[in-house]
């Protein structure tokens, strides 16, 4: 059975159907990406999986339906989301932000884990005593990811980690996402940057105005002429 | 900022300092009663305000929920005490039973206010809490009909003083030739309660709950994503803050011996908020300082403004009451201008304001 199984998921905002009955699955250990243009419903899908917006259809995580489970229970079960726009605590220091990520845990190895995040993100170590609000966009994204890892996730949901970052930083963030996946964390990555996402993912889903229009291995999607034309900015047949 | 005296690694110095402060606080009523028993009463009110400010600081300073109706919990605690220990219903329960009941009822009212306002923030929350404070006061004013519960605007009189065995805290005793007045005894009791409340506050701030409050204050959605049950944490802040208010209210009722809805008007709520803000939101020591200053300064002005005018002009030019509030307002404005995060700001607030300047 898959770690995450989404069936006939719908999200409504008032009278608008933002997500129109999509199915998707993420197997344990996979890095799956969900790509699509602005407004395709990618972020709504992620929020619905976490229960941050009301939904219909079923979402089952690790074999149990998450319907009715309060949002704050999910991190305890290993389902952790890095929200769009990072959602760091701007007035707290980098170290305090990381410690807050371990809130759902009850063990004593929190400090070791903070050390592990510093190894992975040396920049955060340099800035550990600085308040998070004074970090650059890329550093904030790293902090948001480090903080999510502090919860020791089994499934990590990343919402547009490359948003608003300089190209060099984007490449770096994707390297980090790949590293996290290599450590055995299952990842569902939502991205507008389709090429980068497909290059590191094993499988991908393409969303268009609230529906999944293509689902395949990432390599095949990268080669698909329709995807190349619509999302990778290439001419058909080029 | 460096601490005034570095006590790290010098625990002896720290303990000597604490002992000196303790002795000074315990001896204070003897000094004050030389000036007049009124000043001991003022000191008692100041400690009550410290309790209120510490309670409100949990809601406003720790959890970031602006509450402009906080005095309602003080009223609830006071009325619970008055109803259970006065001739009005003929009940005379001992204070150590009533105070916990008062704290619990106030906590219940805290949840009652918190539950419907969970989704509100900032200005909107402030307006609802302001309304809540007024509703409680108006209820107290009108619950004399059809069943006379609160005696309405007449208030409740002849409230029992605290009694511990043969010791009555309202009477004057003579111990070894030293006169110990009622207010002095209450002062020491209040002091003891204050120490307990301060310890609870310090422990709370550095606890898991304290961290959760900090996260909620910063970003509620992110806090939830960290696995914090924001609903429970916010209700807990309201309930804990309210219960401290309830305890202070119960003590107020017994010290005064008489309460009426007039003691719990909006200005009182605003005063407590001013104490928290002036002292330094979120910093326990700052809040205490704010409460002590704002309770003593107006009283000192009350006693100095008239003689000062007489000495300067030979007559009263302006009513002492008017000039007192004028100077008081001026002092508040000056503090906010030169120390916007409060007299003793919390480290996080200090950063917040520094960040705003940098932006």
Q: Which residues of A touch B219 (CB under 8 A)?
A: 87-90
Distance CA B345, CA B291 (A): 14
Who has greater pLDDT, B348 or B230? B230
- Pair of tokens at residue B140: 């107290």
Which pTM does this prediction carry? 0.84
Q: What is the mean pLDDT of residues B224-235?
A: 90
Record: contact A83-B215, CB cut-off 8 A? no
Name the phi and psi angles at B214, rounded to 5: -60, -45
Name the phi and psi angles at B109, rounded to 5: -65, -35
Record: contact A89-B352, CB cut-off 8 A? no
Q: How high is the pLDDT of residue B2?
A: 46
Record: contact B225-A50, CB cut-off 8 A? yes
Q: Where on the phi/psi map is residue B158: left (φ > 0), alpha (ψ -120 to 50), or beta?
A: left
Record: contact A91-B348, CB cut-off 8 A? yes
Residue A25: is its pLDDT beyond 60? yes
Average pLDDT, chain A: 88
Distance CA A80, CA A201 (A): 19
Q: Which fold has domain A1-78+154-238?
A: Rossmann fold (3.40.50)
Number of neighbouring beta carbons within 10 Å of residue A219: 14
Range B315-323, long-range pairs (CB < 8 A, 24+ positions): none
Contact B70, B241 (CB under 8 A): yes
Alpha carbon A13 to its chain centroid, in Å, reads 22
Residue B166: is its pLDDT beyond 80? no
Residues 163-222 of A with CB under 8 A from B: none
Per-residue pLDDT of A62-78, as tens digits, reads 888 888 788 888 888 89
Q: How high is the pLDDT of residue B81?
A: 94
Q: How high is the pLDDT of residue A87?
A: 83
Residue B6: is its pLDDT beyond 80? no
Q: How high is the pLDDT of residue B358?
A: 43
The nearest alpha carbon in chain A to B228 belongs to A72
Percent of chain B with pLDDT over 70: 94
> CB pairs below 8 Å between A and B: how many?
66
Please tell me the distance in Å from A121's CA to the nearest CA on chain B: 20
CB-based contact, A91 to chain B, within 8 Å: yes
Output the CA torsion sign for B98, B99, B104, B106: positive
Q: Which residues of A touch B218 (CB under 8 A)?
A: 89-92
Q: Which residues of B168-191 are buried (b: 16+ CB within 10 A; e: fewer)?
A: ebbeeeeeeeeebbbbbbbbebbb
Alpha carbon B14 to its chain centroid, in Å, reads 27
Domain ranges of chain B: 38-266
Reply yes or no: is the peptide bond before residue A221 cis, omega within 30 of 0: no
Q: Which residues of A touch B211 (CB under 8 A)?
A: 99-100, 103
Cβ contacts of residue B112 below 8 Å, gap of 6+?
Answer: none
CB-based contact, A47 to chain B, within 8 Å: no
Distance CA B238, CA B56 (A): 9
**Pick from B222, B228, B230: CB nearest A88:** B222
- Strand B167-168 relative to strand B163-164, pairing: antiparallel
Distance CA A143, CA A121 (A): 8
Q: Categorize the per-residue pLDDT at B139 as very low, low, confident or very high, splitting at 50, 70 and 90.
A: very high
Distance CA B19, CA B29 (A): 17
Q: How high is the pLDDT of residue A238?
A: 44
The nearest alpha carbon in chain B to A101 belongs to B226
- Strand A186-191 relative to strand B85-86, pairing: unpaired
Name the phi and psi angles at A212, rounded to 5: -85, 120
Percent of chain A with pLDDT over 90: 36
Domain ranges of chain A: 1-78+154-238, 87-152
B36-50, B264-278, B345-359: the lowest-pLDDT one: B345-359
Cβ contacts of residue B182 below 8 Å, gap of 6+?
Answer: B161, B169, B170, B171, B172
Distance CA A100, CA A114 (A): 11
Please tell me the distance in Å from A96's CA to the nearest CA on chain B: 9
Per-residue pLDDT of A106-138, as tens digits, reads 777 888 889 989 998 988 999 988 989 899 888
CB-based contact, A151 to chain B, within 8 Å: yes
Who has greater pLDDT, A34 or B225? A34
The residue whose two tokens read 């001739």 is B87
Q: What is the mean pLDDT of residues A8-15?
A: 89
Q: Which residues of B242-281 are buried (b: 16+ CB within 10 A; e: fewer)?
A: bbbbbbbbbbbbbbbeebbbebbeeebbebbbbbbbbbbb
Record: contact B355-A99, CB cut-off 8 A? no
Q: How far is CA A42 from CA A22, A37, A64, A233, in A?
A: 11, 9, 23, 20
Alpha carbon B141 to its chain centroid, in Å, reads 23
Q: Which residues of B touch A88 (CB under 8 A)?
A: 219, 222
Q: Categorize the per-residue pLDDT at B232 as very low, low, confident or very high, splitting at 50, 70 and 90.
A: very high
- Pair of tokens at residue B124: 């909107």
Q: How high is the pLDDT of residue B359?
A: 39
Q: What is the mean pLDDT of residues B141-169?
A: 83
What residue spans of B90-121 are helical by DSSP H? 95-114
Record: contact B227-A52, CB cut-off 8 A? no
Q: Which residues of A touch B209 (CB under 8 A)?
A: none
- Pair of tokens at residue B353: 């304001």
């Amino acid at each position: 059975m898959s770690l995450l199984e989404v069936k006939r998921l719908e999200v409504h905002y008032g009278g608008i159907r933002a997500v129109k009955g999509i199915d998707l699955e993420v197997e344990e250990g996979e890095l799956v990406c969900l790509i699509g243009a602005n407004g395709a419903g990618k972020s709504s899908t992620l929020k619905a999986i976490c229960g941050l917006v009301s939904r219909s259809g079923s979402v089952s995580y690790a074999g149990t339906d998450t319907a009715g489970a309060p949002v704050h229970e999910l991190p305890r079960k290993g389902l952790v989301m890095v929200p769009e726009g990072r959602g760091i605590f701007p007035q707290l220091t980098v170290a305090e932000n990381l410690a807050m990520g371990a809130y759902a845990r009850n063990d004593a190895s929190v400090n070791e884990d903070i050390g592990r995040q510093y190894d992975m993100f040396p920049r955060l170590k340099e800035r550990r005593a600085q308040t998070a609000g004074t970090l650059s966009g890329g550093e904030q994204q790293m902090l948001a990811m480090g903080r999510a890892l502090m919860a020791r996730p089994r499934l990590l949901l990343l919402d547009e980690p490359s948003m608003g970052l300089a190209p060099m930083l984007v490449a770096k963030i994707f390297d980090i996402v790949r590293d996290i996946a290599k450590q055995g964390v299952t990842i569902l990555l939502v991205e507008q940057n389709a090429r980068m996402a497909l290059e590191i993912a094993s499988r991908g889903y393409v969303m268009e105005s609230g529906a999944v229009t293509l689902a395949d291995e990432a390599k095949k999607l990268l080669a698909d002429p329709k995807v190349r034309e619509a999302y990778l900015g290439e001419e058909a047949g080029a | 900022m460096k601490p005034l005296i570095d006590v790290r690694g010098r625990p002896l110095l720290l303990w000597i300092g604490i002992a000196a402060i303790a002795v000074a606080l315990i001896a204070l009523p003897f000094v004050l009663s030389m000036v007049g028993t009124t000043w001991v009463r003022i000191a008692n009110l100041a400690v009550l305000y410290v309790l209120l400010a510490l309670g409100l600081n949990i809601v406003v300073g720790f959890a970031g929920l602006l509450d402009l109706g906080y005095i309602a919990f003080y009223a609830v605690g006071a009325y619970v005490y008055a109803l259970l220990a006065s001739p009005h219903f003929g009940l005379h329960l001992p204070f150590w039973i009533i105070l916990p009941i008062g704290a619990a009822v106030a906590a219940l009212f805290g949840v009652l206010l918190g539950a419907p306002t969970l989704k509100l923030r900032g200005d909107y929350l402030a307006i609802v809490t302001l309304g809540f404070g007024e509703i409680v006061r108006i209820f107290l004013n009108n619950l004399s009909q059809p069943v006379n519960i609160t005696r309405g605007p007449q208030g409740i009189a002849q409230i029992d003083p605290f009694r511990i065995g043969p010791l009555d805290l309202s009477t004057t005793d003579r111990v070894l030739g030293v006169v110990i007045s009622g207010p002095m005894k209450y002062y020491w009791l209040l002091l003891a309660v204050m120490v307990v409340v301060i310890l609870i506050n310090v422990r709370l701030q550095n606890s898991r709950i304290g961290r959760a409050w900090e996260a909620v204050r910063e970003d509620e959605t992110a806090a939830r994503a960290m696995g914090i049950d924001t609903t429970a944490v916010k209700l807990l802040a309201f309930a804990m803050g309210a219960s401290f208010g309830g305890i202070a209210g119960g003590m107020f009722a017994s010290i005064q011996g008489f309460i009426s809805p007039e003691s719990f008007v909006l200005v009182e709520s605003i005063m407590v908020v001013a104490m928290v803000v002036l002292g330094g939101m979120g910093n326990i020591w700052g809040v205490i300082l704010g409460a002590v200053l704002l309770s003593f300064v107006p009283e000192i002005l009350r006693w100095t403004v008239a003689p000062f005018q007489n000495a300067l002009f030979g007559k009263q030019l302006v009513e002492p009451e008017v000039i007192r509030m004028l100077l008081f307002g001026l002092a508040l404005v000056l503090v906010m201008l030169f120390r916007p995060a409060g007299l003793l700001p919390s480290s996080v607030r200090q950063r917040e304001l520094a960040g705003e300047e940098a932006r």
